[in-house]
Amino acid sequence: MIEQIKTDFEKIIKNSDLSESDIKLKRKYLDNFIENGFPSRKLENWKFSDLNQIIKKNIGELSFYNDNSHPNKVDTATFIDGLEHNKIIFINGRIEKIDFNYENQDKITIDDDYKFENKIENSNSLLSLNNAFTNKCYKISIKKDYVLNKPLFVYHTMNNKIKSKNINLKLEFQLEENSSLRVIDLFNDNAENNFVNIFYNFDLKKNSTLKNYKIDKMQNKNIKYSYNNIEQETNSVSETFIFSSGSNFSKNEVNCNLNGEYSSAFVNGIFSLHNEQQHEIRTIINHLVENTKSYQLIKSVLGKNTKSAYQGKIFVDSKAQKTDGYQLSKAILLDGTSEFNAKPELEIYADDVKCSHGSASGSLDENSIFYLMSRGLNYQQSKELLINGFLLDVVEKITDLEIKNLIKNMIGLKE
Amino acid sequence: MDTREKDIENLKDYKYGFSTDIENIRAPKGLNEDVIKFISNIKKEPRWMLDFRLKAFERFRNLKEPDWQKPKYPKIDYQDLYYYSAPKSMNDKPKSLDELDPKLLETYKKLGIPLQEQARLNGIAVDAVFDSVSVATTFREELNKQGIIFCPISEAIQNHPELVKKYLGSVIPTTDHFFATLNSAVFTDGSFAYIPEGVRCPMELSTYFRINASNTGQFERTLIIADKGSYVSYLEGCTAPMRDENQLHAANVELIALDDAEIKYSTVQNWYPGDENGKGGIYNFVTKRGLCKGKNSKISWTQVETGSAITWKYPSCILKGDNSIGEFYSIAITNNHQKADTGTKMIHLGKNTKSKIISKGISAGFSDMTYRGLVDINSKAQNSSNYTQCDSLLMGNKCGAHTVPYIKNKNSNSNIAHEATTSKISEDQLHYCQQRGLNPEEAVGLIVNGFCKEVLQQLPMEFAVEAQKLVGISLEGSVG
């Protein structure tokens, strides 16, 4: 793999118009990735899923080179109907279009030459990989007091032209004071056996609101890793919803730093897995100042040979008095071969806090099924009804009515 | 000459030389094969025992000290320790209570420990009025009548080799983790108990009533076997503070419950926690593991951990037999600069197995308390269930309370429920108690006792009363 990655890297550098210092920085990131490799079970964060093994088993040789010189054809059929929206279209690892047609253009800036900072961040080798190979990093800023009229949809599309490739995407968002943004990530995969590595960084200033919904629904044989870093100032609100279902393997990480008083973070997620899928969500909420709030709810429905894992951590600094943190994970195991792992973690250094977590896993309640069947439903219907109710609970947490209804329709939940 | 004799022969020429003075036997500093042979030799152990130790040592050499735990400690130089030293002679020991640290005496008084017992705890020769030996002998006779074997493990190796051979290392094998393997190589003594089929042990077994119990040292090994249909309750430690020069304690405790048997193991640990500034104190790195081997067996761990500078232990249950039950009740209190990383592991292998975990952590001062636990339900463990509850109480904002549970469910017929909360003592509760005439310290003691009640209830009667007082004393100076 190391030979492959080095030659691919040189190929990219040759075709790029990067400055000398940028190349130097990229090299540094590459070296860092080569040194650490793909994360494996040996790392505490990857205990439940060994990415190194998964890539070896499912993809084998991964290629890191992507020919970005030719634009890909945008297939408008994949767009969401009946809801006007702004778009970022990302096809086969290339950003084809950024379109804010519904907005006041003065209030949004798109910087396509954004330089990422020169620091090798902690030990996340996937971030190094991302930094080394992303060809362009966009920074989207929402100006002060501006609330977007329409939501922003990010279409992640892969067509069958690519196979066994590593695709990287990096986006920076800055929400200035009193601004508001809704981002919906939609995955459309027709390609197989690729490794997608996505990094988002959100910078939330005073009183701003961010809502991010990630929908991975379409069945596909790809491996996905997505990392959201959210920095929050005073009174800001972030809401993240993850629907984790389509990919063969997927890991979503959300890291939230509550840096300002009265800021709050909400993370909700659903795992709905079938045929040998393996998914994971990891959340880290850092309460760093007084009077911050976080709430997390993760629910899993697990079919045959599937495995889901939830690692959630609430960290409370000694300064962060009056923190309110809550975390709940629930799982229904439908088959003898399904597996649920959880590590709900609390790390608390302040005494005047209200923090709790809960985790429960088990089978569908036979009594409830009996109750429904005695009222005329057949077994399958009763099962579906119970699962529907179980998952609806999470979707109901979505605060945006428009999006909530869209997601309900998309994943087929009934009220 | 057989090989064993040869070994002994070789030892005689050992270059550092071993003193044979009974009063002062001590292995040379350091850890090597010769020291292990020396220990084995002094205990007059059979060849298989020495092999057991050497096998463990061989593996120990290739092991790395773990470093994933929360409380970090300065590196221990394992070559700078004495692995064997015989009990101190009477001459070295304090002659009367007046020679003891007045702070220690004060604590005794608060706990309500009788004078004679205070003396006994510090190894002061006691007069004829309180003859602990005779008390112990009466107990021993009664146990013998029932066929219960209760003796130091070194005696058991001599007298009941078939039992020891069969069970020693069957729960904590020589191939276990760093500290457990170290213990397998160099353990000096400990308790052995065997409860025969169908016998209900008539009294709480405790090292207290065991002859030769003094100074079992830092590497203790305990093995308890409950045969079919038997019951035993075992007490370890006592509420009185224990002073000890050995900084590292790496004991191994193995419990084996056969069909329909029940073992109840209670620990109260109040070792020297170091001074107010976090200097000194004992490292308590104990491996405790119980195996519910037979059907319908039950193992229950209860622990009250208030001492030690660092407590790092996870009493575990392997629920192998169908319908077996594992329980874990724990109170861990850390004050000043103490650190604790404790919890349990419940491994469900058999069908219809149940486990319950109740953990209460209290941290005050500058201390750090971590609950770390694992619940693992195997795919074959049909209809198993687990309930976990861990509550933490924080006093002041210089301390920390952490919860790190690992939950693995591989079985669709099984249920796992986990709850954890963290809070502080509310002003309202304190105010209410103070209004009724309690001083702040008493009020905190009362509230904390209520917080811990679920666990304290599990302790044997005599223990429970003392433990309750201990909880209060451990938190002294943490209020206001």
**ipTM for this prediction:** 0.85
Give the position of tokens 């899928």: A277
Q: Calculate mean pLDDT across residues B224-235.
A: 94
Q: Calculate mean pLDDT across residues A10-20.
A: 80
Per-residue model confidence (pLDDT) at position A161 = 82
Checking if the pLDDT of B472 tops 50, the result is yes
Flag if A358 and B398 touch (Cβ within 8 Å): no
Q: What does pLDDT average to over chain A?
A: 89
pLDDT category at B329 given cuts 50, 70, 90 is very high
CB contacts, 8 Å: A331 with chain B:
409
How far off is chain A from B427, nearest CA to CA, in Å?
11
pLDDT tens for residues B65-82?
888 888 888 888 888 777
pLDDT category at A7 given cuts 50, 70, 90 is confident
Q: Which residues pair with B339 in a beta bridge?
A: B310, B368
Distance CA B217, CA B82 (A): 10
pLDDT category at A340 given cuts 50, 70, 90 is very high
Per-residue model confidence (pLDDT) at position A413 = 81
Checking if the pLDDT of A213 tops 90, the result is yes
Q: Among A199, A312, A299, A308, which Cα is nearest to A265's?
A: A312
Structure tokens of A244? 């984790």
Residue B297 contacts A, CB cutoff 8 Å? no
Structure tokens of B43? 């205990």
DSSP class of residue B311 equals E
| Those residues with Cβ within 8 angstroms of residue A286's Cβ, 6 or more apart along the chain or in another chain | A255, A256, A257, A258, A315, A317
- H-run or E-run covering B122: none
pLDDT tens for residues B411-449?
888 999 998 888 888 888 889 999 999 988 888 888 888
Checking if the pLDDT of B9 tops 50, the result is no
pLDDT tens for residues B368-426?
999 999 999 999 999 999 999 999 998 888 889 999 999 999 988 899 999 888 888 88
Checking if the pLDDT of A150 tops 70, the result is yes
Distance CA B459, CA B235 (A): 9
Q: Give, in degrees to the nearest 5, the angle at Cα B331 between B330 and B333.
A: 145
Per-residue model confidence (pLDDT) at position B13 = 40
Structure tokens of A134? 């992303």
Per-residue model confidence (pLDDT) at position B3 = 52
Per-residue model confidence (pLDDT) at position B85 = 66
Per-residue model confidence (pLDDT) at position A69 = 72
Checking if the pLDDT of A41 tops 60, the result is yes
Burial of B129 (0-12, 13-18, 19+ CB in 10 A): exposed
Burial of B216 (0-12, 13-18, 19+ CB in 10 A): buried
CB A271 within 8 A of CB A241: no
Checking if the pLDDT of A89 tops 70, the result is yes
Distance CA A108, CA B239 (A): 68
| Those residues with Cβ within 8 angstroms of residue B243's Cβ, 6 or more apart along the chain or in another chain | B101, B104, B122, B272
CB contacts, 8 Å: A354 with chain B:
422-423
Per-residue model confidence (pLDDT) at position B351 = 94
Q: How many CB atoms lie within 10 A of CB B383?
A: 15
Structure tokens of B324? 């077996």
Structure tokens of B261? 């048997």
Percent share of chain A, pLDDT over 70? 98
The residue type of A102 is Y
CA distances from B198 to A43, B139, B146, B150, B223 (A): 48, 20, 10, 16, 19
Burial of A367 (0-12, 13-18, 19+ CB in 10 A): exposed
Flag if A351 and B395 touch (Cβ within 8 Å): yes
CB contacts, 8 Å: B416 with chain A:
359-362
CB B311 within 8 A of CB B342: yes
> What does chain A come to in residues?
415
DSSP class of residue A115 equals P
How far off is chain A from B266, nearest CA to CA, in Å?
28
pLDDT category at B15 given cuts 50, 70, 90 is very low
Structure tokens of B343? 């919890």
Per-residue model confidence (pLDDT) at position A116 = 62
Burial of A339 (0-12, 13-18, 19+ CB in 10 A): buried
Q: What does pLDDT average to over chain B?
A: 81
Structure tokens of A187? 């995955």
- H-run or E-run covering A380: helix A379-395
Q: Calculate mean pLDDT across residues B165-186.
A: 91
Query: Testing the interface with A: which of B403, B424, B430 to mutate, by most A Cβ within 10 A?
Result: B403
